[in-house]
Structure 1
Amino acid sequence: MKSRRLWSLFAALGLAASAHASGPVLVIHAGAGVLRRDMPPARDKAIRAALTRALEAGYAELKAGKPSVDAVTASLTVLENDPLFNAGRGSVFTHDGTLEMDAAIMDGYTLRAGSVAAVSDVKNPILLARAVMEHTPHVMLVGAGAEAFAQAQGIAREKPEYFRTEERWQQLQQALKEDAAGRPHADADTARHFGTVGAVALDVYGHLAAGTSTGGMNDKMPGRVGDSPIIGAGTYANAGCAVSGTGWGEFYMRTVAAHAICSRVMQQRVPIARAAAEVINQEIPAMGGSGGAIALDDQGHIAIPFNTHGMFRGWIDGSGKPHVAIYGDEDDGTGELLPAPAPDDAASDD
């Protein structure tokens, strides 16, 4: 039965909604993973409040007639500043106890893009990624070169203690103990990915943009770069589609996930909810990966597929009403649940 599929270990949930054509649309995420109903109420409330603040910041830009890249930047700056999430302040640590943050932004109208990787002291990596897009002939800057560019651009930088949270530090210590004992990490989702933030937006001019920011994997090898700053893997936008992913980045890179979704939408004319579910809920799990994504087309149709227990997510459609959700059984009246794991096999249900 379809209901049983939705509650299997990797039951894939897809949310789809149609926005009013006359209004702007904003969708955000803050990571997918093991999100159970036993989360402390205070933390649940804090996460929902943070998602709402990020939505309000981005949507204010859209309502003021600003371009979609401004909305994406505004929302992600709020999330990077909140230690609850694995981006900016609150980023996870590498195996050596250092910080290496990644971010990317893409303007779907112009196909301009900017990204940064392995930066350790930039307060808001998304602002630096945007500066790369707007003030250099390049798409990606990494490490010391990216930090020097941040200094030249007057982009805020912080000392290591600004980014550190005790929760992230203890996650690393637990992982190191398990590494030393030769045991797999007890919390595989925490070990791999958790809390990457992203946004996609449609402005009043019908232009799309996407952005993603992350601290990467807990206990990752120094120098590891995931999908978030890779244009086409974790972040992509064009004239008709915008995508930001969150999950086990190596699989998003191997499937070029964000671009694959947009290719289905633009070239094969597949509806965005189905296109996103095919990549996120079929291709990536088939290879052994997990995670989710947010996707938006130029008509304001939203897709939020994920193949984990939950995903921090929020959206404001053309009606202007904000929605936030965490768990896999929340749909908040936004639309239908897509069959899992394959969105095109509903006819074979028994």
Structure 2
Amino acid sequence: MKPLRVFAALTTLGIAAMSHAATTPVLVIHGGSGVVRRDLNPARENEVRAALARALQSGYAQLKAGKPALDGVTAALTVLEDDPNFNAGKGAVFTHDGRNELDAAIMDGDTLRAGAIAGVHRVKNPILLARAVLEKSEHVMLVGDGAEAFAREAGVTLVDPSYFRTEQRWQQLQRALKEDRDGKPHSDVETAKHFGTVGAVALDAQGHLAAGTSTGGMTDKRWGRVGDSPIIGAGTYANADCAVSGTGWGEFYIRTVAAHAICMRVSLMHVPLERAAAEVINQEIPAMGGNGGAIALDARGHIAMPFNTDGMYRGWIGGDGVAHVAIYDDEGNAAADLAPVEHSRQ
């Protein structure tokens, strides 16, 4: 019987070792959904695609080095926040009062720790301040002047508000203001519907997930409006089984608690990720009158990128280290590019 006991012990150790086997890291990002015309300026399209690729490579370098999913998310999003082609950080849209109000959130799926900030005007990289809230405070969300005071204490870089201005965003606001004065709905669909955020979800080598989102909100927004991006469970959520970052009409993502709703379908109802994401993004939200998209990733490396708008800036990268980027609805097949690596988790 002794040899059998030894065999049983070795078998148990083997199973335990398999359960902690390294996972193939995966990173998925978005740069916003909305009106993306097929006649997008070729130079700008090339800039967008290049920026998405840079963000993927920056974030994936962290994951390949064995760093946690939070590091992959943070590295990818700082690249997008620094690029004026996206509505986050530099290049954020303007409020009705001609200011930039920035929001961001990040969440660690392994511990359920989260950090979020909203309504800041001087934080160069809002995702870094959200990360600081997660790691250096006992709170989850900080807003406005208080968030910027915390940024100073945490050593997060502050800049003059003029840093965020781009002429394109300023002209979008001027068109919106003119239509406000004329009593007309915003006829410029780019101005009316530019809700784009930037977001990232990551699976690290330890099998842990994280999600992050950063945004400048909506052109011509008033009264300190805050959308879904910095609200944990609405635009950003991660747990042990699922990570989601949304982009779209934030009020509807808040009302459906969209990111959390997707992950609860995966975690509690055992709904496949792609179906879970589609049910919320392409059924529940449009049924209420909203629109947008999301990126989602599960602990087995499955990816979902549903959207119901003309396009969504998006990208993904896995074990082959190749950055895949897409804009339009007929581009890219993450399921084909990234066959998930099956692994056990305890």
After superposition, where does 1:80-229 map in structure 2 within 5 Å? 80-188=81-189, 190-229=191-230
CA drift of 1:179 comes to: 0.7
Given that 2:112 and 2:239 are in contact with CA atoms closer than 8 Å, whether structure 1 keeps it comes out as yes
Given that 1:22 and 1:318 are in contact with CA atoms closer than 8 Å, whether structure 2 keeps it comes out as no
Given that 1:23 and 1:319 are in contact with CA atoms closer than 8 Å, whether structure 2 keeps it comes out as no
Alignment partner, residue 318 of structure 1: 319
C-alpha distance in structure 2 between counterparts of 1:120 and 1:176, whole Å: 21
Report which of the two structures shows the higher radius of gyration computed on alpha carbons. Answer: 2
CA drift of 1:189 comes to: 5.0
Given that 2:273 and 2:303 are in contact with CA atoms closer than 8 Å, whether structure 1 keeps it comes out as yes
* Matched residue SS, 2:98: coil
Given that 2:55 and 2:77 are in contact with CA atoms closer than 8 Å, whether structure 1 keeps it comes out as yes
Code of the residue aligned with 1:260 in structure 2: it is A
CA offset digits 1:170-197 (Å, max 9, x no partner) = 0000000011111110134532433310
Matched, 1:48 2:49: yes
After superposition, where does 1:214-253 map in structure 2 within 5 Å? 214-253=215-254
The 3 A distance-change label for structure 1 pair 314 and 333 is closer
CA drift of 1:258 comes to: 0.1
CA drift of 1:222 comes to: 3.2
The 3 A distance-change label for structure 1 pair 116 and 53 is same
TM-score normalised by structure 1 residue count: 0.88
CA offset digits 1:281-305 (Å, max 9, x no partner) = 0000000001000000000000000
Given that 2:201 and 2:209 are in contact with CA atoms closer than 8 Å, whether structure 1 keeps it comes out as yes
Alignment partner, residue 305 of structure 2: 304
C-alpha distance in structure 1 between counterparts of 2:220 and 2:279, whole Å: 30
After superposition, where does 1:287-302 map in structure 2 within 5 Å? 287-302=288-303
Structure with bigger RCO (C-alpha 8 Å, 6+ apart)? 1
CA offset digits 1:4-24 (Å, max 9, x no partner) = xxxxxxxxxxxxxxxxx8410
Matched, 1:37 2:38: yes
C-alpha distance in structure 2 between counterparts of 1:44 and 1:238, whole Å: 34
CA offset digits 1:141-168 (Å, max 9, x no partner) = 0000000000111111111221000000
Code of the residue aligned with 2:221 in structure 1: it is K
Given that 2:236 and 2:246 are in contact with CA atoms closer than 8 Å, whether structure 1 keeps it comes out as yes
CA drift of 1:334 comes to: 4.1
C-alpha distance in structure 2 between counterparts of 1:40 and 1:193, whole Å: 16
Count of residue pairs brought into register by the alignment: 316
Runs of 4 or more off by more than 3 Å in structure 1?
Answer: 332-336
Given that 1:193 and 1:248 are in contact with CA atoms closer than 8 Å, whether structure 2 keeps it comes out as no
C-alpha distance in structure 2 between counterparts of 1:88 and 1:77, whole Å: 8
The 3 A distance-change label for structure 1 pair 251 and 188 is farther
Code of the residue aligned with 2:258 in structure 1: it is A
* Matched residue SS, 1:118: strand
C-alpha distance in structure 1 between counterparts of 2:48 and 2:54, whole Å: 10
* Matched residue SS, 2:123: coil
Code of the residue aligned with 1:277 in structure 2: it is A
Matched, 1:279 2:280: yes
CA drift of 1:242 comes to: 0.1
* Matched residue SS, 2:115: strand
TM-score normalised by structure 2 residue count: 0.89
Given that 1:122 and 1:156 are in contact with CA atoms closer than 8 Å, whether structure 2 keeps it comes out as yes
Given that 1:323 and 1:332 are in contact with CA atoms closer than 8 Å, whether structure 2 keeps it comes out as no
Q: Which runs of 5+ in 2 are unaligned?
A: 1-21, 338-346
Code of the residue aligned with 1:96 in structure 2: it is D
- Of Structure 1 and Structure 2, the greater helix share is in 2
Given that 2:23 and 2:206 are in contact with CA atoms closer than 8 Å, whether structure 1 keeps it comes out as no
C-alpha distance in structure 2 between counterparts of 1:241 and 1:125, whole Å: 23
Code of the residue aligned with 2:324 in structure 1: it is H
Alignment partner, residue 9 of structure 1: none
Given that 1:300 and 1:318 are in contact with CA atoms closer than 8 Å, whether structure 2 keeps it comes out as no
The 3 A distance-change label for structure 1 pair 138 and 22 is closer
CA offset digits 1:239-296 (Å, max 9, x no partner) = 0000000000000000000000000000110000000000000000000001000000
C-alpha distance in structure 2 between counterparts of 1:103 and 1:69, whole Å: 14
Q: Which runs of 5+ in 1 are unaligned?
A: 1-20, 337-350
Alignment partner, residue 342 of structure 2: none
